[in-house]
Structure 1
Amino acid sequence: MQVCKLLQLMTISTYTILFLRSAGTKFGMEEQEIVIVGAGIAGLATSLGLHRLGIRSVVVESADSLRTSGFALGILANGWRALDAIGVGDILRAKHHKISRIVTTSVNSGIQTAELPFRASNSQDDLESRCVNRRVLLETLENELPRGIIRYSSKVVHIQSEDRVESIHLSDGTVLKTKVLIGCDGVNSVVSKFLGFSKPAYAGREAVRGFVYFKDGHAFEPKLMQFFGKGVRFGVIPCDDYSVYWFFTFSPSSQEKEMVEDPAKLKLFILSKLGKVSDEIRRVFEETELGNMVCAPLRFRYPWQMLWGNISKDNVCVLGDALHPMTPDIAQGGCCALEDSVVLARLLGGALKGSDGGNEHRAIPEALEKLARERRWRCFDLISTSYVVGVMQQGDGLLVQFLRDKFMAKFMAGVVLKKACFDCGDLC
């Protein structure tokens, strides 16, 4: 009897071992040199930048496909420099109109308050700006990466640090061990929490983003059209000959907070707040299907956290919204993420190629610390500026409206252009 039981146990053990082996790495341990968490703009751009330098990375993404919520985003000159650095700028230029100027208009009076060309101050040099379809951007980055780099349905549930190696535990039981961990996992970042950052703060405003496709084309000139007043800020930007992106930000009252969950009520609310705009602008909002608009709270990281927070620690760092979530008022969230990616790829590439293998444990933390030094003040500046500009643009007080419409509109438009003059450099 005992012999039979022993044989049964041996058989069960054998089948268990065979099953685990057949399951491969799904239930086992896997080693990767670089793991990037999050397949958003920062994550894919960083992976592509490293790929251009001959360095392989793995991108783990919790969703089962690319996440394209938000529909589109403005990419200004600094973002295009970064896209050129990783080799996808021309692919995207061919699909999106170049925006020639920024125009601001008062919702209260319907009068245009400022108009500036996208040009650097005291210069005739154009500052390239285009409104880019988010799906097209992410798919372009994905298509430039080798197959197998991105692993979907791979949610990070735990991070463990031990002896200069990070262990990333995924929800399916897989454990990835890596020399470098890069967090690009958005405002609710697991990696930024691991580094000690607190949750981003609520800015007190909601942002509705929408996208409308005109099958017969639209008649808009290639301009960024912004409107302020009545406690709201909104804008309309053509992406190409047929599609138009729009945004609308507001501070909801206690009664309006429930409305954000109902797209039909939200659309009626937006239409009621458009004020004295042209019929062409109103038509953009009217013809947007409910499924092509999304509302989300605006969150930002307190800028002083950029000065003393752990942007990097040992062989771990964060980029993009995981590092510097900001309000969208100067159109720098995505652009700043692209800058991050190029800077990190350059520094990390130099560290890995310059080390002989024996001193990687020193070269990698030094590269990430240098990233933190380079990006700290830039992020502080953009978060602070964006928040202040948003307060001015959306303010509803009589004094704020008077100052904005009479004196500040042109200045604030100039601030947007000034922040776009930054050059993150090339990969090498």
Structure 2
Amino acid sequence: MEVVENVVIVGAGIAGLATSLGLHRLGIKSLVLESSDKLRSEGFCFATWTNAWRALDALGVGAILRANHRELTGIVSTSTITGLTTAQVSFNDIYLPSDHEFRCVNRKVLMGTMEKELPKGTIRYSSKVVQIQDSGFYKSIHFADGKILKTKVLIGCDGVNSVVAKYLGFSKPYFLGRSAIRGFVEFEDGHGLELKSMHFVGEGVKYGIIPTDDHGVYWFFSKDKDIEEDPAKMKEYILRNLGKVPDKIRGVFEKTDLNSIICSPLRLRLPWELLYGNISRDNVCVAGDALHAMTPDIGQGACSSLEDSVVLARVLGEVLMEKSSGLRQENDVENEHRRIGNGLEKFARERRWRSFDLVLTSYIVGFIRQSDGVVMKYLRDGMLAKFLGGIGLKKSIFDCGKLNVN
């Protein structure tokens, strides 16, 4: 007998697990397909703004994560050329929503927390999807090992190289010609840094340091240049290009173990594709990086993926939970298929402009911060410094809503 799943999610990243968890909270079962043989935690950590905490609370895991991560009090920008502070934003000195919250969350902790909250067997590992085909009111999912699975709803959360996004007609995200090196280090006796997000900019170089708690520190380093992916050479390259910074900052990079350094190319979804492309079609949609791959310049990539997950779980809940309301017959497959399509269209409408705004803003901020021109450097380190430092904060004042289904 042929097995048909109600909801299949491709990709067990942040968006994939969060969407599955949102559906689970509503009593809806889903199957998450992951190509690797275990849970992936590349990237180490990510900035988690107010909008993300609202989503995490909606998913029921916010309190668990707060217990393991310290709240940050502000943002500081420093010129690596002069060594002087160019801008400071203290969260205590400006008006913010009462639930404002900014922490740096360990990706492995987040992923592990969501995995534990899901029913056993929800994630199917070593399941690489290679093709998607129409099959009446269902979608046929073809795997690398030759197996085939059918589903009523297909959600692509499979990252920048998304098979599902390709099926919907999206092109591959655009490579910006620069890469991000990321690292994480633990200080046994405490790092002694301020609990702030610290950014350093100058001469085409941009990097940052963000504490996760009293011992852990996450850092990132970006430059418009091909960088060898050997961790030892990457570390050597970074230390040569830190500029004028205190020894305590330099020590973060010096102490980082080579096994805790990775490098990944920066890609973004071309903004006009988000305006005119098919975020959803029929009973298929994309979310997370598969939808809105963006640069990390305003720290909203993972945050917006969590937003996607809550909105998507909510609209699907409105559709799939109608089954028990007596408004439809169990054998009315065509009607259910139509309602699923309408639900995913609602998700696309709700997320299209938000995604466009974040992708475009991230690109512009990154361009300004890494420009080498004399005029741009003057503007960046002077008039634009405080403005750039506050953009991420402004974009975080967004509420994706609750999971409640009326």
Give the TM-score category using the shorter length.
over 0.9
Q: CA deviation at 1:126?
A: 5.7
> What secondary structure sits across from 1:380 in the alignment?
helix
Q: CA deviation at 1:220?
A: 1.0
Q: CA deviation at 1:115?
A: 0.9
2:392 to 416, 419, 424: 416
* In structure 1, distance between residues paired with 2:306 and 2:93: 20
Sequence identity, in percent?
Answer: 60
* In structure 2, distance between residues paired with 1:383 and 1:133: 23
Show the counterpart of 2:243: 275
Q: Which has the larger radius of gyration?
A: 1
1:334 aligns with 2:307: no
Asked if the contact 1:204/1:251 (under 8 Å) is kept, the reply is yes
Q: After TM superposition, list the pairs within 5 Å mapping 1:139-178 onto structure 2.
A: 139-178=112-151
1:70 to 39, 43, 46: 43
Q: Which amino acid aligns with 1:235?
A: G
Q: CA deviation at 1:118?
A: 3.5
* In structure 2, distance between residues paired with 1:104 and 1:47: 37
> What secondary structure sits across from 1:173 in the alignment?
coil
2:230 to 259, 262, 265: 262
Q: Which amino acid aligns with 1:41?
A: I
Show the counterpart of 2:16: 43
Q: After TM superposition, list the pairs within 5 Å mapping 1:318-397 onto structure 2.
A: 318-355=286-323, 356=328, 357=330, 358=332, 359-397=335-373
Show the counterpart of 2:3: 30
Question: 1:124/1:83 Cα in 2 relative to 1: closer, same or farther (>3 Å)?
Answer: closer
Q: CA deviation at 1:266?
A: 1.5
Show the counterpart of 1:213: 186
Show the counterpart of 1:199: 172
Show the counterpart of 2:381: 405
TM-score (norm 1): 0.90
Show the counterpart of 2:77: 104
Q: CA deviation at 1:127?
A: 2.3
Show the counterpart of 1:60: 33
* In structure 1, distance between residues paired with 2:98 and 2:109: 27
Q: How many residues are treated as equivalent by the alignment?
A: 396
1:300 aligns with 2:276: no
Asked if the contact 1:207/1:247 (under 8 Å) is kept, the reply is yes
Q: Which moved more, 1:405-414 or 1:314-323?
A: 405-414
Q: CA deviation at 1:121?
A: 5.8
Q: CA deviation at 1:30?
A: 2.6
1:161-191 Cα distance to aligned partner (Å, 9 max, x none)? 1212001112233211110000000000000
Q: CA deviation at 1:35?
A: 0.3
Q: CA deviation at 1:48?
A: 0.2
1:181 aligns with 2:154: yes
1:342-386 Cα distance to aligned partner (Å, 9 max, x none)? 000000000111252432111100000011100000000000000
Q: CA deviation at 1:215?
A: 1.4
Q: Which amino acid aligns with 2:280?
A: S
1:285 aligns with 2:258: no
Q: Which amino acid aligns with 1:404?
A: R
Question: 1:123/1:94 Cα in 2 relative to 1: closer, same or farther (>3 Å)?
Answer: closer
1:84-134 Cα distance to aligned partner (Å, 9 max, x none)? 000000000000010110111111011101111237964474621111111
Root-mean-square deviation over aligned CA pairs: 1.3
Q: CA deviation at 1:269?
A: 1.1
* In structure 2, distance between residues paired with 1:49 and 1:117: 33
Q: Which amino acid aligns with 1:104?
A: S
Show the counterpart of 1:314: 282
Q: Which amino acid aligns with 2:49?
A: L
> What secondary structure sits across from 2:285 in the alignment?
strand
1:237 aligns with 2:238: no
Q: Specify every segment of 5 or more residues in structure 1 that has no aligned partner in the other structure, as ranges.
A: 1-27
Q: Which amino acid aligns with 1:306?
A: L
* In structure 2, distance between residues paired with 1:188 and 1:47: 20
Question: 1:184/1:120 Cα in 2 relative to 1: closer, same or farther (>3 Å)?
Answer: farther
Asked if the contact 1:120/1:127 (under 8 Å) is kept, the reply is no
Q: Which amino acid aligns with 1:422?
A: F
> What secondary structure sits across from 2:57 in the alignment?
helix
Question: 1:29/1:215 Cα in 2 relative to 1: closer, same or farther (>3 Å)?
Answer: farther
TM-score (norm 2): 0.95
1:70-95 Cα distance to aligned partner (Å, 9 max, x none)? 11111111001000000000000000
> What secondary structure sits across from 1:368 in the alignment?
helix
Q: Specify every segment of 5 or more residues in structure 2 that has no aligned partner in the other structure, as ranges.
A: none
